[in-house]
Amino acid sequence: MASLVKKKVVVTAAGQGIGKASALAFAAAGATVLATDINEAALESLAEGAGSASIQTAKLNVLDGDEVQSVIQAFGDVDVLFNCAGVVHGGTVLDMDDKDLDFAFELNVRAMMRTIRAVLPGMIARGDGSIINMASVASSTKGVPNRCAYTVTKAAVIGLTKSVAADYVTQGIRCNAICPGTVESPSLQERMRAQGDYDTARAAFIARQPMGRLGTPEEIADLAVYLAGATYTSGQAYAIDGGWTI
């Protein structure tokens, strides 16, 4: 695996959950990290982890195209982009709100295209770059009940990943997607609490993972670090899901 020492890495949605664990893991692997999130206060906790000396933070709302350009340009040449921002909506195709679908496309798909456009010309000019997009096994990989907008848009993330990979594979660019199963994160905690009976909701989420437990953000971060330095793979959707899709 190629070293990440002296590599510059941008992570979106790094204030909590998988994005935060990944920012810390990239820094621990020797990279210089720009950890971004719409929630500036959440980014403050990144000062505490191993390797935090090489983490810069910046407020970045990935829905704001101008902010995406200015924050990323200010950081300089980007070697690795980890597009982690995403939102989960509940609902089937019948009860899903069109507004939710539009918002899911904005945050889960179009925002990734904005950040990719901000880093790709520089990567092409230098002939090297790794883009990692956060998808899910709830996507073209697997249908999951009551997750229509989420599954549709995460499938689009895999399509985007393959498209970028195909267009730039001969120019030193790699683009891969991560497809987690169910991962212990603040927003998952919210989804479990929102169901009313927390213990039953938690047991149901655990039951769908054959390994008998939820994943940790750190386990997903390990895969992100691997893909940043994995120089012979592109256009792939990597499931990391406790055996859900065996």
Q: Which residue matches tokens 């998952």?
A: 188
Residues of span 77-106 touching ligand NAD by CB under 6 A: 84-86, 88
Give whichever of 17 and 51 is closer to ligand NAD, judged by the CB atom: 17
The answer to whether 232 is a known catalytic residue is no
Give whichever of 84 and 128 is closer to ligand NAD, judged by the CB atom: 84
Asked if 234 is part of the footprint of ligand NAD (rule: CB under 6 A), the reply reads: no
Contact 86, 12 (CB under 8 A): no
How many residues are there in the chain? 246
Beta-bridge partner residues of 36: 58
Tokens of 86: 């995403």
Question: How many Å apart are CA 178 and CA 194, to the nearest integer?
Answer: 26
Asked if 15 is part of the footprint of ligand NAD (rule: CB under 6 A), the reply reads: yes
**Residue 182's closest CA among 155, 209, 150, 203?**
209
Of all helices (H) and strands (E), which one includes residue 198? helix 198-207
Q: What is the DSSP letter of 54?
A: G
Question: How many Å apart are CA 99 and CA 130, to the nearest integer?
Answer: 32
Give whichever of 116 and 128 is closer to ligand NAD, judged by the CB atom: 116
Asked if 42 is part of the footprint of ligand NAD (rule: CB under 6 A), the reply reads: yes
Asked if 34 is part of the footprint of ligand NAD (rule: CB under 6 A), the reply reads: no
Q: How many residues of this chain interact with ligand NAD, rule: CB under 6 A? A: 30
Among 10, 31, 107, 173, binds ligand NAD (CB under 6 A): 107
Tokens of 132: 């990692």
Sketch the per residue contact string, 141 through 180, with ligand NAD: x for CB under 6 A, - otherwise.
---------------------------------------x
Tokens of 2: 């190629």
Asked if 183 is part of the footprint of ligand NAD (rule: CB under 6 A), the reply reads: yes
Asked if 224 is part of the footprint of ligand NAD (rule: CB under 6 A), the reply reads: no
Question: How many Å apart are CA 28 and CA 235, to the nearest integer?
Answer: 26
Give whichever of 115 and 234 is closer to ligand NAD, judged by the CB atom: 115
Among 45, 54, 56, 63, binds ligand NAD (CB under 6 A): 63
Question: How many Å apart are CA 160 and CA 175, to the nearest integer?
Answer: 9
Helix, strand, or coil here: 150? helix
Asked if 18 is part of the footprint of ligand NAD (rule: CB under 6 A), the reply reads: yes
Asked if 136 is part of the footprint of ligand NAD (rule: CB under 6 A), the reply reads: yes
Contact 59, 37 (CB under 8 A): yes
Among 45, 187, 209, 233, binds ligand NAD (CB under 6 A): 187
Beta strands 173-180; 237-240: pairing state: parallel
Give whichever of 21 and 230 is closer to ligand NAD, judged by the CB atom: 21
Which residues belong to the active site?
A: 150
Residues that bind ligand NAD (CB under 6 A): 12-13, 15-19, 37-39, 42, 60-63, 84-86, 88, 107, 134, 136, 180, 182-183, 185-188, 217
